Amino acid sequence: MRIEELINIAFGLFMSLLILWKHARIPLWGLKLGVNLAVIIATLLVSRMPTRRGFMFHFRNWYVAAAVPIYFMNLKGVVGGVNPTNWDLFLMHVDKVLFGGRYPELLIERLYNPLLSEILQIAYVSYFFIPLLVGIPLYRKDIRAFRRAATAIILTFYLSYVGYFIVPAVGPRFSMSEMFTKQIRGILLTPYLKAILNRLEPTPHDCFPSGHTAVSLVCMWISIRERTSRKLVIPLVLGLIFATVYHRYHYVIDVLAGMILALVSYPLSQRIYRLWEKER
């Protein structure tokens, strides 16, 4: 078994135990538990298959990424069931303290204009494609480097998911909706992209830490170290991080926590990968 597969199984078991623990407060808990177990079983089966050449060789290198969105979609109802405490007021207070008694989410309204809103919304959505922008050229260049990158990205995703259970929050767009004085208007794509995101991200308590910040920074780190797609990835990541607050998806403290998570998860993942591969 590869370390990427083991990380997928470990998170599936972690989430399954939480579901069993708080099943009385989790809607459709049996279905959610079944999804997790299905991912675990599928991973165990694939890890035992011969993958020396052909389709299965490529499939095994890439299929581990499929568990990430499956687990994320499965978080809906689980986070609130496990920890019903809402931390938005606390996070709002921290932001206010950091900015001298004023909410940065309100201060940033001065910058609103349709063109900037459009550009930053596109940058925010690029989160779903940045791992591919890094992974595809890296896969062609060096399979081992690709697997190290996959380990880092997958581990960062799951550590951010763990954060949702510890500090559940819905974010400024919901908790501060009555405080905002301006609407965010784009040029063409902004309202459609926001609607798509609401469908793709059904988990309401997915604010702290900012997974968008953590994962995108890890991808940028990889792109710089491996010299792949740097000219495209770096500006996208910087725009994405600013967009998390500009478009009211995250508090500033979420972004700072995401930065810290990236600084921890990337070197940790590389050490885990080296130790596991040495044993294999």
155 and 247 assigned to the same domain = yes
135 and 175 assigned to the same domain = yes
111 and 65 assigned to the same domain = no
148 and 95 assigned to the same domain = yes
Instruction: Give the pLDDT score at 199.
Output: 82
Q: At residue 269, what is the residue type? A: S
Please give the tally of structural domains in the chain: 2
C-alpha angle 34/38/40, rounded to 5°?
A: 120
Helix 29-47 crosses helix 54-62 at what angle (to 10 degrees)? 140
112 and 212 assigned to the same domain = yes
Tell me what the mean pLDDT of segment 247-251 comes to: 96
Of residues 243, 158, 247, the one with CA closest to residue 209: 158
Least confident of 144-148, 157-161, 192-196: 192-196
CB 150 within 8 A of CB 269: no
The CA-to-CA distance between both ends of the chain, in Å, stands at 8
Of residues 17 and 278, the one with the higher pLDDT is: 17
92 and 231 assigned to the same domain = yes
Tell me what the mean pLDDT of segment 179-187 comes to: 92
Give the domain range for residue 252: 85-279
Percent of the chain predicted with pLDDT > 90: 90
209 and 135 assigned to the same domain = yes
Q: Give the residue from 54, 78, 102 where a domain finishes.
A: 78
Q: Give the residue from 27, 50, 78 where a domain finishes.
A: 78
Q: Give the residue from 23, 56, 78 where a domain finishes.
A: 78
182 and 102 assigned to the same domain = yes
Tell me what the mean pLDDT of segment 181-185 comes to: 92
Is 143 a residue whose pLDDT tops 80?
Answer: yes
229 and 124 assigned to the same domain = yes
Q: What is the mean pLDDT of the chain?
A: 95
143 and 161 assigned to the same domain = yes
Instruction: Give the pLDDT score at 249.
Output: 95
CB 117 within 8 A of CB 190: yes
Tell me what the mean pLDDT of segment 71-95 comes to: 96
